[in-house]
Amino acid sequence: MSAVSQKQLAAEAALEYVEDGMIVGLGSGSTAALFVKALGQRIAAGDLSIKGIPTSRETEEVARESGVPLIPIEQADRIDIAIDGADEVDGRFRLIKGGGGCLLREKIIADAADRMIVLVDETKLVARLGAFPLPVEVDPFGWTITAKKVFDALRAVGIARPVVDIRRKQRDSLDPFITDGGHYILDCACGEIPDADAAGIALSIVPGVVDHGLFLDQARVVIVGEDDGVKILEL
């Protein structure tokens, strides 16, 4: 079974966690989009009435096309659950996110939600984080200085040869990728992150860093799509 099919199974399984009347944080990326579309089908069938808060313009567009009612985050006094994908998940439910460039808004929603549910295919499960380049969202002002400070911070927490590159709008473009919030993203190839908690702290105190893609204490449920169904892991 393909990774897309496994993600689809995980997305459909996540619907079991959505209850009538909930405010649902809608993540970004391909897996989250599958969930949003499945959610729209349930709503269209009259089985469910919820309100969603999207974490990106792309998710907002998918939600509107799928018939999922949305509200601005400013109108929500609480968020019941956030449902999102991840680029990596370790055995303690720590995540790397941000491959799609929406990590800041995803983290705001995840942290505000009573419960975060993560949807992945089985290839995203890892023993230790770091094979996927760690995204770090930074202010455009002085980003080259910030990139050097990010490199130094990663070295200081035991990553021997981090490679810090600015994300480009397209592979062959010199123009930087710009997030929905107007920031740049540094992709940090670490190979392996020996201490994710220390890395998170070190990156957070670098001036110019808006946020980083280490989600260390947000996920409570991980739904893993497999060839013959789903595996549900809970803390």
Active site residues: 106
CB 29 within 8 A of CB 118: no
**How far is residue 20's CA from residue 30's CA, in Å, rounded to a whole number?**
25
Nearest alpha-carbon partner for 47 in 25, 21, 24: 21
Nearest alpha-carbon partner for 223 in 60, 56, 18, 73: 18
Measuring CA to CA, how many Å separate 218 from each of 61, 72, 98, 120? Answer: 25, 22, 14, 15
Phi, psi of 134 (to 5 degrees): -80, 120
| DSSP conformation letters of 144-160 | HHHHHHHHHHHHHTT-S
